[in-house]
Amino acid sequence: MDDKFDCIIVGGGIAGLSAALTLARSNMKFLLVERGEFSGAKNVSGGVLWGSRLADLVPDYWQEEAGFERYVRHRRLTFLDDQSAFSIDFKSDHFNEQPYKGLIVLRSKFDNWLAGKVEEAIAESSYPEDSFIATNILVDTIIMESGRAVGIRTGEEEFHADVVIIAEGVNNLLTRQVGLQDNYVPADYMATGVKEIIRFDQNVLEDRFQLDGNSGLTNEFIGFASDGVEGGGFLYTNKDSVSIGLVLNLKSMRENLSQDRKVYDILSHFKSHSAVKDMLRGGEVVEYSAHVVSTGDQRALPRELYTDGVLLAGESANLLLNSGKAIQGMDYAMESGILAAETVAEAKAKGDFSKNTLKEYRKKLDDSYVMKDLRNFQSAVQFLHSHEMFTSVPKVVNEFGRSFFTVDNKPTPKTPAMLKDAVSKHSSLWNMIKLGIKGARSL
Ligand SMILES: Cc1cc2nc3c(=O)[nH]c(=O)nc-3n(C[C@H](O)[C@H](O)[C@H](O)COP(=O)(O)OP(=O)(O)OC[C@H]3O[C@@H](n4cnc5c(N)ncnc54)[C@H](O)[C@@H]3O)c2cc1C
């Protein structure tokens, strides 16, 4: 074996695996190093893989026992106050079309499945014996020579390559090591995600959530769920379980949590809401996990996404958008992984791995929906920081819901009067108008 690779990928999450699959199909010789026992072993995600890009990597993936749990057919956004739940609900057969536009996944399964696809692609490539996925190995250092990355160090061993794709995820130590990101990222740009998997009898799950075949539900929650902390809750249906959890802003957590009130208490609080309890009745908690996640604030992006011999893909570059409609971290990881690998293949054809060639990656990303959306929806990211969004708005919405849907033996006020009453109880008309305009502009 020639001991130099065309490319080394650090991290076998979605970004790293998407890059690897693309490299294998471009007949490149590469090494992917993953610190977990297998791809997915260290990953936490809610999670929905949005978009249909997977079908480009694995055509007709839905025809096999693929790594996904269910496709998204039913979406719901729920405002919670102490007593009530007011939902915007959308279910459509247009979601039944393949390739699906959203897949509910469990990462330990999905990433492992995708890694299997990489192995298949390696076997069919020009380097079946010389490209590898190596698991259970932690990359300590990116080896730099004269300001250029030339390989990686893991313990005592060194591996060399023309270029390194760093796809290490949100705890981006190597990204910082190569100088692309400052050590300090303000807590306001970061969140903590906590998640439980609650298992059910599959028939019970399908009846309770009206799931047909492989179809699934995504439900996001605002208000009571985060108990005064900036953030929200989610519930996604898997095959025979639900993923339920919270994504909470780190700075707001520091300000609102104490010795006596931990993240787990907020999750218990969320689960204690009667509407949520109804959904979880009879289920058994089988897994609990927590992980840092970016908020989608573009100020958290590294100063650049490439340097000599290095490209950053996925959340190692904080590529994630939480616009309120969805968290998009996995599809951004997939897209950026593919584009990084395509850039590497072009650099190889040119025989130049300097930043002068690798800057093409930035251009590709800028031209893609990833950077376009990330820029266009920054006001939505800021909008989600509005204190009213997770405090007064859910209360106003539910106050109104209670009046509107209650029929009693009393004279019924007209709807605008109900709305005015609900607003005046929990906020002010001026505040709600300002928020409404901000929301309409940002989305
Ligand atoms: C609770 C929660 C809910 C979420 N929900 C969603 C959702 O619904 N939809 C969505 O799109 N996104 C969601 N996200 C975000 C999403 O999970 C991430 O954006 C996505 O996983 C990023 O993929 P990645 O490949 O860049 O990084 P990761 O998936 O983090 O993969 C990085 C990999 O690199 C490995 N690694 C790290 N350092 C090293 C090293 N030094 N050496 C070797 N290996 C290393 C890790 O073990 C890991 O496997 C959620 C996140 C959380 C925490």
pLDDT category at 183 given cuts 50, 70, 90 is confident
For the Cβ of 169 lying below 6 angstroms from any atom of ligand 1, the answer is: yes
CB of 48 within 8 A of CB of 104? yes
CB of 32 within 8 A of CB of 118? yes
For the Cβ of 9 lying below 6 angstroms from any atom of ligand 1, the answer is: no
Average pLDDT on 376-385 reads 91
Residue 228 identity: G
- CA–CA dist 49, 103 (Å, integer): 5
- CA–CA dist 284, 154 (Å, integer): 40
Average pLDDT on 235-249 reads 96
pLDDT surpassing 70 at residue 362: yes
Which of 300, 334, 331, 330 lies closest to 317 in space, CA to CA?
300
For the Cβ of 34 lying below 6 angstroms from any atom of ligand 1, the answer is: yes
pLDDT surpassing 60 at residue 2: no
- CA–CA dist 164, 304 (Å, integer): 15
Question: CATH 3.30.9.90 occupies which residues in the chain?
Answer: 187-294
What pLDDT is stored for residue 49 in this prediction? Answer: 97
For the Cβ of 12 lying below 6 angstroms from any atom of ligand 1, the answer is: yes
> Where do runs of H (alpha helix) occur along 224-288?
250-256, 263-271, 274-280
Q: What share of the chain is helix, strand, coil (3-state, %, to 5)?
A: 40, 25, 30
* Tokens 């390696």 sit on residue: 122
The CATH-assigned architecture of domain 187-294 is: 2-Layer Sandwich (3.30)
What pLDDT is stored for residue 324 in this prediction? Answer: 87
Q: Closest Cα to atom 5, ligand 1: which residue?
A: 46
pLDDT surpassing 60 at residue 19: yes
What pLDDT is stored for residue 186 in this prediction? Answer: 85
Neighbouring C-beta atoms of residue 269, cutoff 10 Å: 18
Instruction: Write out pLDDT tens, residues 418-432.
Output: 999 999 999 999 999
For the Cβ of 15 lying below 6 angstroms from any atom of ligand 1, the answer is: yes
104: left (phi over 0), alpha (psi -120 to 50) or beta: beta
pLDDT surpassing 90 at residue 328: yes
DSSP state of 261: B
Q: What is the CATH number of domain 4-69+102-185+297-377?
A: 3.50.50.60
CB of 259 within 8 A of CB of 202? no
Average pLDDT on 310-334 reads 96
Average pLDDT on 196-216 reads 97
Residue 75, CA distances (Å) to 129, 217, 235, 371 in order: 45, 6, 10, 25
For the Cβ of 42 lying below 6 angstroms from any atom of ligand 1, the answer is: yes
What pLDDT is stored for residue 5 in this prediction? Answer: 98
What percentage of residues in the chain have a pLDDT greater than 90? 90
216 CA distance to ligand 1 centroid (A)? 22
Average pLDDT on 46-69 reads 92
Average pLDDT on 52-69 reads 92
Report for 1-5, 40-44, 61-65, 284-288: range of highest mean pLDDT: 284-288
Mutate to test the pocket of ligand 1, among 31, 174, 196, 293 (most ligand atoms within 8 A of CB): 293
pLDDT category at 46 given cuts 50, 70, 90 is low
- CA–CA dist 115, 43 (Å, integer): 14
* This model's pTM is above 0.85: yes
What pLDDT is stored for residue 218 in this prediction? Answer: 98
pLDDT category at 268 given cuts 50, 70, 90 is very high
First to last CA, the chain: 53
pLDDT surpassing 80 at residue 303: yes
What pLDDT is stored for residue 64 in this prediction? Answer: 83
DSSP characters for 178-211? TTSS-S---GGGEEEEEEEEEE--HHHHHHHTT-
pLDDT surpassing 90 at residue 386: no
Q: Closest Cα to atom 1, ligand 1: which residue?
A: 193
Residue 236 CA, closest ligand 1 atom number: 8
CB of 337 within 8 A of CB of 314? yes
CB of 195 within 8 A of CB of 46? yes
CB of 143 within 8 A of CB of 158? yes
Residue 292 CA, closest ligand 1 atom number: 53
What secondary structure, in 3-state letters, does 287-335 show?
EEEEEEEECCCHHHCCCCCEECCEEECHHHHCCCEECCCCEECHHHHHH
Report whether the peptide linkage leading into residue 99 is cis, meaning its omega lies within 30 degrees of zero.
yes
Residue 333, CA distances (Å) to 50, 180, 329, 330 in order: 11, 18, 6, 5
CB of 20 within 8 A of CB of 27? no
pLDDT category at 223 given cuts 50, 70, 90 is very high
For the Cβ of 72 lying below 6 angstroms from any atom of ligand 1, the answer is: no
What pLDDT is stored for residue 241 in this prediction? Answer: 97
For the Cβ of 40 lying below 6 angstroms from any atom of ligand 1, the answer is: no
Per the prediction, the chain carries an average pLDDT of 95
Average pLDDT on 267-291 reads 96
For the Cβ of 331 lying below 6 angstroms from any atom of ligand 1, the answer is: yes
Q: Closest Cα to atom 41, ligand 1: which residue?
A: 139
The tokens for 425 are 């109880």
Lowest-confidence range among 204-218, 356-370, 425-439? 425-439
| Residues contacting 428, CB < 8 A, separation 6+ | none
For the Cβ of 139 lying below 6 angstroms from any atom of ligand 1, the answer is: yes
Residues paired with residue 345 on neighbouring β-strands, in sequence order = none
What pLDDT is stored for residue 45 in this prediction? Answer: 65
